[in-house]
Amino acid sequence: MTTEDDYLRAVERMLRRVAPEHRDAVLEDLRGHFADAEAAGRPVDEVIRSLGTPTEIADRAVEEFGADASGVDASAERAWRVLQGAAVVLAVVIGVVVAFIMPSYTGSVDTVSSDGTSTHVDTSQTLIEVNGLWVALIALVPALIALVPLVVPRRARTATASVAAALLTLMALVGGFTIGGFFLPTVMLAWAALIVWVRLRRSGFGVTWRIVGGVLAALPVLGFMIPLFGGMPGRYADRSDGSDFQVSAWGWPFLAAVLVLGVLISIGYRSAGWVLAALGLVMLVWALVSGQLFALLVIWLGGLWLTIGLAHALTASRRV
Amino acid sequence: MTENAERIATNLRKGVLEFCVLGLLAANERYGLELASELQGRGLIASEGSLYPLLARMREGGLVDTRTEAVGGGRPRRYYTITAAGREQLDTFAEVWRAVGAEVDIIMEGTS
């Protein structure tokens, strides 16, 4: 049963190149073909072998109907613009926060006034206050780089987007110890945009891609839970030293929800992508404004979920 | 068949497949699997799957039509039937085929 479904899904994916009404007609006939063959007692793998590969069927369909290039192109164009646009917007927001709002320099000043009383003042300054406008503007360079592929002519797009993504990666790595790390979400979105642009105009995203996406989304959660459960069952664990990390009451449903989203993405539900993207965005914004310890980790995690969620929502073939 | 012979056969079959489908349907309505098995058995198609895009295009072109029939318990089966336009097309093809075939035969006899 699964092989038949896999086969039909592969054909459906390949037939994205032809108009929907023709695609539906071919798929309907193939389903009937499988049903009749099964009724005639033919084994599924033999049926699939004599049907030929999904690519052969798709090639024949393109020959018969001509490629409905506009449809595929429009969806690839849209998905790419949304992802690349998100990379730009995020880079602007992060750049502004990093340069103008986030206290990058902290210190304390002790002053002793003339009457002998000493006062202790904690100071925090932003990048622009310490280094001036020009250095602060460097924080906006990633946004400019991410913007370039959106304005170059279409035929130069793949090359420009590749260079831009590589440059952004380099900046994030080189500047990783200062402000570079904050731009990792932009880097992820830029790569996702490039992959979506290239793949969506060819064979699209199959089950392997979806599983990789789902696992990547769930991995941080698993990595977080395994140490909690890994050693021994929780109730036998020695918590007397109080070193155990406690997950708050809200934490568990949250972690479980992300796991479920990962599974739903692997199955191919589009809405799971939107939910994960929204979750990632909320975390990102929260981390950017809170400026707490571990904010950078939360920004990375939020960026990862935003990227996977958005890319999945824009490319999933199931409508729900 | 050698690779070269296979290529020649593939090109020839491509041109006539549509009319073979019409010819089979003119004799009897058939459902997809039936048609596919018949054509493959006669060596007219390499893979059965490639028949369905052709059928979809022929239906859109009004050469064939479909009729669904409930089969005991299972999913309804889709039968392909030939239309009046399809018969007309088949007649035209038959004429052309006879003329072309005759000329090709004459030339081939001359070379052998």
The answer to whether A168 and A191 have CB atoms below 8 angstroms apart is no
| ipTM entry | 0.88
Q: What are the structural domains of chain B?
A: 3-111 (1.10.10.10)
A29 and B75 within 8 Å at the Cβ level: the answer is: no
Computed on alpha carbons and rounded to an integer, the radius of gyration of chain A in Å comes to 26
Average per-residue pLDDT in chain A? 81
Q: How far apart are CA A188 and CA A279, in angstroms?
A: 16
Task: Give CA separation, A42 vs A6, A11, A62, B37, in Å.
Answer: 18, 20, 29, 12
How distant is the Cα of A64 from the closest Cα of chain B, in angstroms?
Answer: 6
Beta strand ranges found along chain A (DSSP E): 103-112, 118-126
Whether A246 has a pLDDT exceeding 60, the answer reads no
For A56, which of B34, B47, B74 is closest by C-beta distance?
B47
A166 and chain B in contact, CB less than 8 A: no
B75 and A31 within 8 Å at the Cβ level: the answer is: yes
Whether A293 has a pLDDT exceeding 80, the answer reads no
Task: Give CA separation, A254 vs A196, A226, A276, in Å.
Answer: 28, 16, 11
Q: pLDDT at position A228, please?
A: 57
Q: How far apart are CA A64 and CA A54, in angstroms?
A: 15
B57 and chain A in contact, CB less than 8 A: yes
Beta strands B64-69; B30-31: pairing state: unpaired
Q: pLDDT at position B20, please?
A: 95
Q: CA A205, A209, A215, A218 torsion: positive or negative?
A: negative
A10 and chain B in contact, CB less than 8 A: no
pLDDT in tens, A131-170: 777 777 788 889 999 999 999 888 889 999 999 999 999 9
The model's confidence at residue B16, banded by pLDDT at 50, 70 and 90, is very high
A25 and B59 within 8 Å at the Cβ level: the answer is: yes
Residues of B in contact with A31 (CB under 8 A): 75
Residues of B in contact with A37 (CB under 8 A): 33
Q: pLDDT at position A143, please?
A: 93
**Lowest-pLDDT choice from A9-18, A93-102, A246-255:** A246-255
Whether B68 has a pLDDT exceeding 80, the answer reads yes
B107 and chain A in contact, CB less than 8 A: no
pTM over 0.80: no
Identify which of A285, A298, A318 has the alpha carbon closest to the alpha carbon of residue A254: A298
Amino acid in the structure at residue A161: A
Per-residue burial over B81-92, b = 16 or more CB atoms within 10 Å of its CB, e = otherwise: ebbeebeebbee
Identify which of A155, A153, A147, A268 has the alpha carbon closest to the alpha carbon of residue A201: A155
pLDDT in tens, A171-187: 888 876 567 788 899 99
A26 and chain B in contact, CB less than 8 A: yes
Whether A243 has a pLDDT exceeding 80, the answer reads no
Whether A119 has a pLDDT exceeding 60, the answer reads yes
Q: pLDDT at position A104, please?
A: 63
Task: Give CA separation, A298 vs A97, A295, A306, in Å.
Answer: 15, 5, 12
Helix axes A44-51, A20-39, angle to 10 degrees: 140
> How many CA atoms, within 13 angstroms, populate the side-chain half-sphere of residue A41?
0
Identify which of B55, B21, B63 has the alpha carbon closest to the alpha carbon of residue B38: B21
Average pLDDT of the segment spanning A272-297:
84
**Lowest-pLDDT choice from A54-58, A249-253, B32-36, B101-105:** A249-253
pLDDT in tens, A2-22: 688 889 988 888 887 777 888
Whether B31 has a pLDDT exceeding 90, the answer reads yes
